[in-house]
Amino acid sequence: GLRRDKTNIIGMIISDISNPFFPAVVKGAEDTAFKNGYRLFLCNSDNDFAKEETYLHELQTYLPSGLIIMTSNINGSPALADAYRKAGSAVVYVDRLPPLWTGDTVTSMNEQGAYDATKYLIDLGHRRLGMITGSSTRTNSDERVQGFRRALREAKITISPEYVQEGYFEKQSGYANATTLLKLLPRPTAIFAANDLMAFGALTAIRDMGLRCPEDVSVIGFDNLDLAEIVTPALTSVDQSGYQLGAVAAQLIADRIRGDKEPKHTHVLPTALKLRASVAPAL
């Protein structure tokens, strides 16, 4: 058949453009793509896997040089992504990884970041900890739960299952799940939320219940959004660089197209706990 050359397009699928974490990822990808002569084609799935698959199918028409996929489902679309690879496009999954995907990936140290946050709370004397997870269809959320549990295990702290509530990475979910956690007896003295938006929701829930952060309840988030500095109290959060996630992914694609033949790149970017006012020692 006719072999058509690839265009200079990199397709990027993100899961929720209204979450302030993702514009940073897009900016990193776009800056790096542009510098390398590529143009970014952005698709927003709104956490709707059917929409994600529609985009994945239709992007084929544009003969992209590469794809950056932040999947909204734990299974992703490894078969379709593989078809792209066979057709000569470079594909990289970022942030959330389908376990069946065997190609390039870029993520943050989700487990370690969550561990560090939890250990910090434990070192300050907290024993009754609660966690609000992201949706269990996200590998990054699962890794954060594992980090939380590892810190508890090492400190020989056991918590009953209802102290870990499954949320879904949005503010209203943080609000609802913090409300649930704070009605438990004994009440948790600290809450670790798997992202900042949920932590913001938790701060509002604490206030609405007539409690105080950090005097009654400490809160830690994950992402270290710019907003974390601005909320009251300023939010302690695990920093991960969305910009770097996107930049490393786009660079990987540029390198692949230039002939990088490594079987597989697995980039795991560092996290760092940013200390602010939303945490106090346990009484």
Binding stretches for ligand RIB (CB under 6 A): 19, 21, 95-96, 140, 169, 195, 197, 222-223
Rank residues 113 and 257 by Cβ distance to ligand RIB and give the closer one.
113
Rank residues 38 and 168 by Cβ distance to ligand RIB and give the closer one.
168
Rank residues 96 and 119 by Cβ distance to ligand RIB and give the closer one.
96
Nearest one of 223, 247, 243 to 235, comparing CA atoms: 223
Q: Closest separation between CB of residue 117 and ligand RIB, Å? A: 12
For 133, list phi and psi in degrees, rounded to 5. -90, 170
Residue pair 182/205 in contact by the 8 Å Cβ criterion: yes
Q: Closest separation between CB of residue 260 and ligand RIB, Å? A: 26
Q: Closest separation between CB of residue 71 and ligand RIB, Å? A: 10
Q: Closest separation between CB of residue 123 and ligand RIB, Å? A: 23
Rank residues 123 and 229 by Cβ distance to ligand RIB and give the closer one.
229
Query: Helix, strand or coil for residue 164?
Result: strand
Terminal-residue alpha carbon distance, the chain: 73
Q: Give residue 177's identity as a one-letter amino acid code.
A: N
| DSSP state at residue 2 | P
Rank residues 176 and 197 by Cβ distance to ligand RIB and give the closer one.
197
Rank residues 9 and 223 by Cβ distance to ligand RIB and give the closer one.
223
Residue nearest to ligand RIB (CB): 195
Residue pair 68/92 in contact by the 8 Å Cβ criterion: yes
Return d(Cα 108, Cα 162) in angstroms, integer.
27
Q: Closest separation between CB of residue 198 and ligand RIB, Å? A: 8
How would you classify residue 163: left for phi > 0, otherwise alpha for psi between -120 and 50, otherwise beta?
alpha
Scanning the structure block, which residue is given the tokens 């499954």?
Answer: 166
